[in-house]
Amino acid sequence: MTSACVVGLGYVGLPLAVALAEAGVDVVGYDVDPLRVAELRSGRSGIEDVPDEAVRGITFTSDPSAASGCTTYVICVPTPLREGMPDLRAVESATRAVATVLSTGDLVVLESTTYPGTTEEVVAPLLGRTDVLLAYSPERIDPGNPTYGIRNTPKVVGGVDAASTKAAVAFYEQVCDTVVQVDGTREAEMAKLLENTFRHVNIALVNEMAVFCRELDIDLWQVIEAARTKPFGFMPFYPGPGVGGHCIPVDPSYLSWRVRKLGFSFRFVELAQEINAQMPSYVVTRLADLLNDAGLALSRSRVLCLGAAYKPDVADVRESPAVEVMRQLRRKGAVVSYADPHVPSLVLDLERLTSVEVAEALPEVDAVVVLTPHAAFDLDLVRRAAPLVLDTRAAVEPGERVFRL
């Protein structure tokens, strides 16, 4: 029987482990966090897209020796930025753990997003052997997406040699309908960075357009809907309070860092980062202007923020622009509350806030800022009952007191 160890059991690793188990693969899930392992062993997935019952029957461990005997090891650990530079400590630690249990002919696959060259220059030396197979396959998990999952999302694969590529393709064909083979690990690594840099740059484009379209009294959302009627050459992107999550704010920086190492500057990425990073401040300024027009000062206003997660219908607050908007509002003196059915509490400037009920909070606030329009929100109630609404996502039906970004 095929056996696999998935290293890292978060938003990427756990869905893969479940998909492999459902395909009949004998799976060991390894994570360095004993609390995470205990949670999974108790039958709680901790991830919205993975039902609790799906994790039962999988072996979870924080002891790498428990994965000894597996034939494939997939590394799905975080790759954040640290002071603007790639932080590969989790990848390095995971690789060292895998190296202790490898046997001749085993396959190691890195899925963590990183800069081109990581698999060959970092992972391979840490494995320290030439009798194993090594490949890179970028994760394409989209939390909260009801349409695309592991099975129907094409999987890109590139190995350090032909044998590694062949083995990785065969491995992923067990759980993916389409496997896309590229010449090597660097092409596979770059493919992921291109995907997310493309999104990052285009989001920045519409965010900047949102700023000056308001000054020109142009409805940008109507413009986008008109433009998307063209059946070729256009893909719609929409403005918002910024970018968040584990990919868009981070991945382009990996590419920009790698390009700078070559002596070049990646001006598109750097400009996009600047524009998107300014959007939370723009939201705060926009709200202050609207309150001022209503005869209120932001510093004395009560503001309800709808949504703390970085995207609708997930609990992930990593790099969330909604959290940054809340932080800046508080620093301007506003009394801030938030509602998010997926994020019951969060720490903001060392203070723990608790999510409120929208219907109960509405009579007590001066303004509502729609930051993450979860499906659970009654936005019609917000439109009818809120004294003033700043809708950063064009999610609320237009009304006399509803203003868009």
pLDDT tens by residue, 10-43: 999 999 999 999 999 999 999 999 999 999 999 9
The residues pairing with 15 across neighbouring beta strands, listed in sequence order, are none
pLDDT of residue 208: 97
Cα(2)–Cα(303) distance, integer angstroms? 54
Catalytic residues: 247
Tokens read off for 374: 């979860």
Does this chain's domain 3-183 share its CATH topology with 202-404?
Answer: yes
What is the H or E stretch that residue 86 is in?
A: strand 85-86
In this predicted structure, what is the pLDDT of residue 259?
Answer: 87
Q: What percent of the chain clears pLDDT 70, i.e. is strictly above it?
A: 100
| Kind plus residue range of the DSSP H or E element containing 240 | none
Segments making up each domain of the chain, as ranges: 3-183, 202-404
Residues with Cβ within 8 Å of 122's Cβ and at least 6 positions away in sequence, in order, are 88, 91, 92, 95
The topology (CATH level 3) of 3-183 is Rossmann fold (3.40.50)
Q: For residue 246, what pLDDT is reported?
A: 77
Q: Mean pLDDT for each consecutive 10-residue tract of the chain (405 residues)?
A: 91 96 96 97 93 94 95 96 89 97 97 96 96 97 90 98 98 98 98 94 96 95 97 96 86 86 88 95 98 96 97 93 98 97 94 96 97 97 97 95 95
Q: How far apart are CA 27 and CA 171, in angstroms?
A: 13
Task: For residue 53, give both structure tokens.
Answer: 């019952």
CATH superfamily of 202-404: NAD(P)-binding Rossmann-like Domain (3.40.50.720)
Q: Please tell me the predicted confidence (pLDDT) of residue 1.
A: 59
Strands 133-136 and 155-159 come out as: antiparallel
Angstrom distance (rounded) from CA 249 to CA 277: 9
Give pLDDT, residue 206: 97
